[in-house]
Structure 1
């Protein structure tokens, strides 16, 4: 009789069920089928168990996703950051983006503080340290981190959502349809950019925007000399 999960299904139950085996199965679904197919029910089927048995090991999908982040973060090499505090702040902000960009399956919990604690706590420390060395108080550094965090999460959410939406479209976007009907007299700026809007908004301006944000956050602050350990 053929195993219900296909040719590989019968071999999966040889090892005892554990969080490690659950993470391996979840990563297999992500790699083979994509993040939209990962659910607790689909994972239970992959493991040839009932959803209730799965919940004995993983509380919910939120905990599952955090386990996946921890698994993929384990052993990651930390790059050497610049000595100059302003450049280090920018580099840490870029690292925050790069770390989160590794996990497109985390769209639904990107706003969770647990995600940062698990995946990028060392990046958070580097960013705060650099901000303080740039002349901010620790409280101001926390606010700077929050501003950079919100910008980064927004960029990633918009990017992943837009890519998925465009991949599924079989018609011009709603924006393109609306732009085509606008009067140049009523909307001179918008109509002058309408044809170029997709190309302009598709540009990767992450670094430039980060520089603008950091410049605004720091203003004329002078770095504290000799504080970097």
Structure 2
């Protein structure tokens, strides 16, 4: 009886094939963040999640910041462009409100956009909002550089509001609402009469979303200040 030859067994990686497309990488990164939090996202951990080597990831992203910018661009691609009113001041407000709501859903995305210079890394969908705001300011009467200042001022406020609210919610969740809230009512009223009088009203007030109320006031003030210098 002839001797049966050994059947060669497969070697190397088994199971699902490596996911190396940009769409699969971004989907896995989004899942990792949603499941384990923003801090969990690293190139090494994402590579492990995809069952590929970190070197493979670097064919698609330069670093973690680049990965997050790509995630933000992909997120903004899904945001519907709002109907824009004819009035340039109102267009600015509508565009900013849409940006705020989109980033508020993904506050960690704002983390990487806190440094100037990020505009050159944004995709077409995100740049459309920037163009709308700058063009609206110029049409209202601002110079191009004043329009830049207006954008940057509202951007700082918007990102700051989103990050403060996100970090506050996370902190409150970590330590518990009772331990987190500060009591102004415990302050010495002889030294801090107004703060002591506010008491627990301050933390209750800070939980309210006043961005829709403040944004028009902020825009009006910046537009008035800028155009008063050009006329």
TM-score for the superposition, normalised by structure 2: 0.80
Once superposed, what is the RMSD of the aligned Cα atoms? 2.4
**Partners of 2:141 and 2:204 in 1: how far apart?**
38
For 1:130, the equivalent position in structure 2 comes to 136
Is 1:205 matched with 2:210? yes
User: Is 1:97 equivalent to 2:134 in the alignment?
Assistant: no
Q: Which has the higher contact order (CA 8 A, sep 6+)?
A: 1
Pair 48,135 (structure 1): closer, same or farther in 2 beyond 3 Å: same
Greater radius of gyration (CA): 2
Return structure 1 stretches of 4+ with deviation > 4 angstroms. Answer: none
Cα distance between partner residues in 1 of 2:114 and 2:218? 20
Q: Distance in 1 between matches of 2:170 and 2:74?
A: 25
Match of 1:169 in 2: 175
Secondary structure of the structure 1 residue equivalent to 2:209:
coil
Instruction: Give the one of 164, 177, 189 matched to 2:194.
Output: 189
Instruction: Return the alpha-carbon distance in structure 2 between the equivalents of residues 169 and 97 of structure 1.
Output: 27
Contact kept? 1:35, 1:104, Cα under 8 Å: no
Indicate the residue corresponding to 2:162 in structure 1: 156
Query: 1:187 offset after TM fit, Å?
Result: 0.6
Is the deviation greater in 164-173 or in 95-104?
A: 95-104
Question: Hey, what's the Cα distance between the residues in 2 that align with 1:42 and 1:145?
Answer: 36
What is the match of residue 45 of structure 2?
Answer: 42
> 2:186, 2:80 → 1: CA distance?
52
Cα shift at 1:28: 2.3
- Going from structure 1 to structure 2, the CA distance change for 1:130 and 1:56 (only over 3 Å counts) comes to closer
Specify whether residues 57 and 135 from structure 1 end up closer, same or farther in structure 2 by C-alpha distance, changes over 3 A only: closer
The aligned residue for residue 127 of structure 2 is 121
Instruction: Report how far residue 66 of structure 1 moved.
Output: 1.5
Deviation at 1:84, TM superposition (A): 1.4
Query: How far apart, CA to CA, are the structure 2 residues paired with 1:166 and 1:195?
Result: 16
Structure 1 portions without partners, runs of 5+? 1-8, 223-229
Q: How many residues align?
A: 210
> Separation in 1 of the partners of 2:57 and 2:78?
27
